[in-house]
Amino acid sequence: MNHQPFETWLLEDKNLSPAEKRELDLHLRTCSHCTALTETGLALRSAPVARPAAGFTLRFQQRLAAQKIAERRRRLWGMIVLLVSGTGLLGWLLAPYIFAVASAPVEWVTAGIGYFLFVLTSLQAFTEVIAVLLRMATDFIPPYVWMVLISALAGLGLVWTISIWQFSRAPQGVTA
Ligand SMILES: [Zn+2]
């Protein structure tokens, strides 16, 4: 059987005119060889869809790099926005105090020192109270109760340390 020109048309994936198409259809009805060729051609034409095109890996890597840069830029902008808004908010919150201090510095410095002294003396009084309470406790509480209390505290500390350690060991997520 003569397969020409149909074989060439099929192999070259030729764009057929309606007349040529009719001729080919007629030939395919009687020729299993060219029918098989048609099916192979269809399979070959549909294959590139699934198969990655040449340079796919390179383009993928390039796109990935571009995405990383964009991500980094987005994060940088986010940080700038956060910093600026944070500074603005802080300034807005502190502005009245800054103006007050600027308008009456001596009074504010005096008040600040007074507050500092107040905290200091309060702390002193507090530690004294604690010391007195401890002295009283050592007089009243028998030694074995102290042993129990101290071991309980040590146990709590151990649990706390382990939980912190586990928390810090938790997976950090994927950060690029
Ligand atoms: Zn044929």
Tell me the per-residue pLDDT of 83-128, one tens digit each, with 9 for 90 and over. 999 999 998 888 888 887 778 778 878 888 888 999 999 999 999 9
103 C-alpha to center of ligand 1: Å? 102
Residue in the block written with tokens 């350690």: 165
45 C-alpha to center of ligand 1: Å? 20
79 C-alpha to center of ligand 1: Å? 69
C-alpha atoms less than 13 angstroms from C-alpha of 39 in its C-beta half-sphere: 6
In the chain, what is the greatest distance between 2 CA atoms, to the nearest angstrom? Answer: 119
| Whole-number pLDDT of residue 170 | 57
Which one is predicted more confidently, 41 or 175?
A: 41
Between CA 32 and CA 38 the distance in angstroms is: 10
Say if residues 24 and 16 touch (Cβ distance below 8 Å): yes
Residue in the block written with tokens 């057929």: 16
Tell me the per-residue pLDDT of 17-54, one tens digit each, with 9 for 90 and over. 999 999 999 998 999 888 888 887 777 766 655 566 67
Q: Please choose, from the candidates 55, 56, 74, 60, the residue with its C-alpha nearest in 3D space to the C-alpha of residue 176.
A: 74
| Whole-number pLDDT of residue 166 | 73
Tell me the per-residue pLDDT of 57-84, one tens digit each, with 9 for 90 and over. 788 888 889 999 999 999 999 999 999 9
Residue in the block written with tokens 């502005």: 95
How distant, in Å, are the alpha carbons of 34, 70, 84, 157 from that of 73? 57, 5, 16, 43
51 C-alpha to center of ligand 1: Å? 29
| Whole-number pLDDT of residue 85 | 92
50 C-alpha to center of ligand 1: Å? 29
42 C-alpha to center of ligand 1: Å? 16
Query: What is the rounded average pLDDT of the residues 139-153?
Result: 82
- 169 has pLDDT over 70: no
| Whole-number pLDDT of residue 164 | 77
SS3 percent helix, strand, coil of the chain, rounded to 5, is 85, 0, 15
